[in-house]
């Protein structure tokens, strides 16, 4: 089974960490990646650029329209994700626990279907 | 359990919106600042045990408003005024009890605070200080250290600037009507551009200011972009900042001398910042409303796209400078265009055109540096030496002086004249 750990946080909070705290945060991510790789369960991870770089596609009635990024809100934004291949959701939840929680919240969700560099085909 | 670093980051991220909403509410910058401080202290006590609230800004705003109300009540008691009179605000209205955190209003509150701090009636240096102090919340001690002055002097200077801004607020000059929003955003961009340039091109002995101003100008530009993502020139400004700051790590060598763009070790450039700059610029250009910041960001992007200096697309850069000259003619832009021209056609024609700028740019160090470089390329060594001497008369920063002096020594040695 392929599991994802989705990472959410308020825009700009991570950038407001001191350089040392940012390094510590990166170290936590690297530690998890190293452990998952050693156990053969790591399938990839993605950090997204700030939400303000995003463009949105929406059906405007006359066809799909390209809109500018979301207005800044205090609610949490999607920042990035991990993909982990394992049989037990508890394993993925434990991995999520090892990520920095103070500046982000994590959501563990099973992947229904994936093709390409990562695939759900055995 | 939330750790202190995370709490500090949340406080810093929530601050511009919270303080802006407080200023809009009580129409008093100092009172808003004090109320936010109280709320931040309460958060530092409360959050480690109870966790960071889902909406830190709303939490802080709620606590800060209650703190401000207490101050109003105390004042009313001292003056023996009825409480209602104390609650009556500068514009004669009563403060709203618990208004919903309306997002559109939030955005305009932050813009109003930014505009107030960047008000055209304030000195550029004071605009920068007010932004750093009241929008981003930098401490007096940090600001004093960066400006090499005492905390007392810094406190007095900020108080004076704040009093001037407060007067503008009282006169209603910071109220932004929907039709004037674009103009206010443009004024804020102008102030941020000055802040960034002051940091990036720190002269004399202001190196200590450099990283602070560059970093904070980027933070403010990010804030502006996240509040008003549809403004192509704001996106261009952020792209420009990121594109230039990406090279910060390569601008000085081990000896502390300035390394010019062609000689920089490009592996030291921040690829993440360059990629982000490219993304913001693409989004900006999609609007079809080109402006000077977007063109400058595009020029930085062309430089950043070259893996080696000799791969630089000078034809594209020359075209972009022509566009910039058409949008915003200035001798400095022309100077930069002539540098691009010399890369395309050799030094002679550029040198001839540079003659027309001699008087206007006589006090501008880069003019003489460019003149020296092109003269040497054209084999006119005596002219190059003269231009380097002129550059040294233009109050170079320490790094620039080291660079110019070593260039001068190199030229003289190469000419076989030895040192006089």
pLDDT of residue A46: 95
Cβ-contact B257, B403 below 8 angstroms:
yes
Burial class (CB in 10 A: 0-12, 13-18, 19+), B10: buried
DSSP A29-63: HHHHHHHHHHTT-EEEEEEPPPGGG-EEEEE-SSS
Taking the Cβ of residue B280 and every Cβ of chain A, the question of whether any pair is shorter than 8 Å is answered with yes
Q: What angle do CA B262, B266, B272 make, to 5 degrees?
A: 135
Closest partner residue to B276 among A53, A72, A100, by Cβ? A53
How many CB atoms lie under 10 A from the CB of residue B325?
A: 15
Q: Please give the pLDDT value at position B90.
A: 47
Mean pLDDT for A18-26 is 90
Question: Are A68 and B229 a contacting pair at CB < 8 A?
Answer: yes
Q: Which residue has the higher pLDDT, A109 or B145?
A: A109
Per residue in B321-378, pLDDT (tens digit) is 999 999 999 999 999 999 999 999 999 999 999 999 999 999 999 999 999 999 999 9
Check pLDDT > 60 for residue A72.
Answer: no
What pLDDT does residue B72 have?
A: 83
pLDDT at residue B417 in the model: 44
Low-confidence ranges of chain B (pLDDT < 50): 1, 90-91, 94-95, 97-100, 204, 416-420
Q: Chain A residues with CB inside 8 Å of B226's CB? A: 11-12, 50-52, 71-72
Q: What is the DSSP letter of B98?
A: S
Query: Is A19 near chain B, with CB under 8 Å?
Result: no
How confident is the model at residue B238, as a pLDDT? 98
Determine the pLDDT at residue A61.
73
Alpha carbon of B218 to those of B192, B197, B376: distances in Å? 8, 11, 37
CA distance B229 to chain A (A): 6
Q: Of B40, B5, B1, which is closest to residue B19 (Cα–Cα)?
A: B40
DSSP at B252: B
Assign A66 to helix, strand or coil.
strand
Q: Which residues of B touch A71 (CB under 8 A)?
A: 103, 107, 226-227, 229
Is the pLDDT assigned to residue A89 strictly greater than 90? yes
Q: Nearest by CB to B6, which of A11, A70, A103?
A: A103
According to the model, what pLDDT value does residue A68 have?
A: 66
pLDDT value at A7 more than 90: yes
Would the CB atoms of A16 and B2 count as touching at under 8 Å? no
Which chain B residue lies closest to A22 (C-alpha atoms)? B5
**Measured between CB atoms, does B289 come within 8 Å of chain A?**
no
């Amino acid at each position: 089974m392929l599991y994802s750990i989705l990472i959410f946080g308020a825009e700009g909070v991570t950038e407001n960490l001191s350089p040392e705290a940012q390094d510590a945060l990166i170290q936590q991510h690297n530690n998890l990646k190293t452990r998952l790789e050693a156990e053969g369960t790591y399938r990839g991870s993605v950090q997204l650029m700030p939400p303000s770089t995003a463009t949105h596609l929406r059906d405007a009635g006359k066809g799909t329209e390209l809109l500018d990024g979301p207005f800044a809100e205090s609610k949490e934004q999607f920042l990035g994700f991990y993909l982990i291949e394992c049989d037990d959701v508890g394993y993925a939840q434990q991995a999520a626990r090892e990520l920095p929680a103070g500046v982000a919240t994590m959501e563990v969700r099973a992947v229904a279907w994936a093709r390409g560099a990562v695939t759900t085909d055995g | 359990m939330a750790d202190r670093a995370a709490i500090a980051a949340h406080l810093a991220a929530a601050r511009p919106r919270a303080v802006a909403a407080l200023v809009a509410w009580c129409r008093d910058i100092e009172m808003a600042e004090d109320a936010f401080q109280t709320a931040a202290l309460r958060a530092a006590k409360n959050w480690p045990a109870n966790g960071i609230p889902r909406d830190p800004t709303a939490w802080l705003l709620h606590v800060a408003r209650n703190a401000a109300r207490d101050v109003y009540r105390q004042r009313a008691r001292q003056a023996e005024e009825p409480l209602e009179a104390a609650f009556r605000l500068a514009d004669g209205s009563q403060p709203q009890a618990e208004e919903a955190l309306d997002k559109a209003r939030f955005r305009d509150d932050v813009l109003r605070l930014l505009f107030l701090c960047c008000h055209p009636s304030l000195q550029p240096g004071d605009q920068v200080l007010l932004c750093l102090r009241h929008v981003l919340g930098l401490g007096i001690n940090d600001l004093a250290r960066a400006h090499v002055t005492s905390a007392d002097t810094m406190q007095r200077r900020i108080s004076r600037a704040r009093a001037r801004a407060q007067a503008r607020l009282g006169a209603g000059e910071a109220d932004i009507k929907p039709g004037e929003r674009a103009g206010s955003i443009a004024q804020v961009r102008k102030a941020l551009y000055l802040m960034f340039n002051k940091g990036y091109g720190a002269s004399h002995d202001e190196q200590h200011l450099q990283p602070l101003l560059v970093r904070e100008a980027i933070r403010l530009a990010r804030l502006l972009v996240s509040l008003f993502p549809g403004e192509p020139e704001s996106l261009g400004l952020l792209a420009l900042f990121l594109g230039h700051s990406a090279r910060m790590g390569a601008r000085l060598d081990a000896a502390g001398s300035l390394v010019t763009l062609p000689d920089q070790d490009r592996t030291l450039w921040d690829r993440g910042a360059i990629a982000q700059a490219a993304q913001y610029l693409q989004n900006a250009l999609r609007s079809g409303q080109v402006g000077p910041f977007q063109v400058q960001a595009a020029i930085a992007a062309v430089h950043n796209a070259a893996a080696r200096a000799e791969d630089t697309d000078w034809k594209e850069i020359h075209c972009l400078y022509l566009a910039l000259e058409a949008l915003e003619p200035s001798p400095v832009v022309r100077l930069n265009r002539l540098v691009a021209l010399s890369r395309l056609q050799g030094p002679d024609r550029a040198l001839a055109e540079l003659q027309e700028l001699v008087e206007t740019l006589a006090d501008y160090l880069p003019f003489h540096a460019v003149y020296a470089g092109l003269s040497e390329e054209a084999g006119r060594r005596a002219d190059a030496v003269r231009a380097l001497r002129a550059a040294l008369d233009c109050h170079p920063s320490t790094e620039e002086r080291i660079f110019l002096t070593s260039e001068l020594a190199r030229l003289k040695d190469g000419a076989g004249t030895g040192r006089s």
